[in-house]
Amino acid sequence: MRTKKYLTFCIGSKRINRASLRNAVTIPEFFIVFLILAIIAAISAPKFSEAKNGSDLKRLVKGLETVRQQIELYKVQHEGLLPGQKFKGQEITEEEFVNGLTESDGVYGPYLKKMPRNPFNGLRSVRIGSVTIGSAAGAGWFLNCYTGDFRADDLEFHRAY
């Protein structure tokens, strides 16, 4: 009578025979599991993206609140003038505005350590003017120097904030 011989493999110092490989995972089974995991990843990826946008929006609103509060405090302490203005209605530059908020005038301030970043475009710069916001000017923030309106300068959607 013949005995069955099994093909043996050597992995490290452990010998494995063909009979014990019957419990191993086959290639089709492996691909089915991989396909299921890929589908789960495709479904869950947009949820993570939405969560990131939600946190960015919260940081945008927090940055706007902080700067607006400091502008109001500056106006109270400087007889209604915006940071950087010497007289009411004066046009100011970005540098004058930012310096008015971030540097002390000897009596008051500084109101901010530095301008916060706009989380949607990563910029701290301030575009000063009287035209509509959200232009392609490439600034993080927009200040209307006539009305004192301070807003995000990135997307049409953020005009509401």
Q: Read off the pLDDT of residues 97-137 as tens digits, 9 standing for 90 and up.
A: 999 999 998 899 899 999 999 998 899 999 998 766 555 55
Is 4 part of any domain? Answer: no
Is 3 part of any domain? Answer: no
Torsion 52-54-55-57 (CA) sign: positive
Give strand ranges (E) for 1-148.
Answer: 8-11, 14-17, 126-129, 141-144
Label the pairing between strands 126-129 and 141-144.
parallel
Contact status, residue 6 vs residue 18, Cβ threshold 8 Å: yes
Q: What is the pLDDT of residues 16-65, one digit of tens each?
A: 666 666 666 778 888 898 999 988 888 877 776 666 667 888 999 999 99
Confidence (pTM): 0.66
Is 2 part of any domain? Answer: no
Is 126 part of any domain? Answer: yes
Domain containing 80: what range?
Answer: 12-160
Query: 95-113: buried (b, 16+ CB within 10 Å) or exposed (e) per residue?
Result: ebbbbbbbeeeeeebebbe
Q: Supply 145's token pair.
A: 């120097």
Is 6 part of any domain? Answer: no
Is 132 part of any domain? Answer: yes
pLDDT band, residue 3 (cuts 50/70/90): low
Q: What are the distances in angstroms from CA 136 to CA 8, 133, 142, 146, 150? A: 69, 9, 12, 21, 17
Is 40 part of any domain? Answer: yes
Contact status, residue 72 vs residue 83, Cβ threshold 8 Å: no
Is 128 part of any domain? Answer: yes
Number of domains within the chain: 1
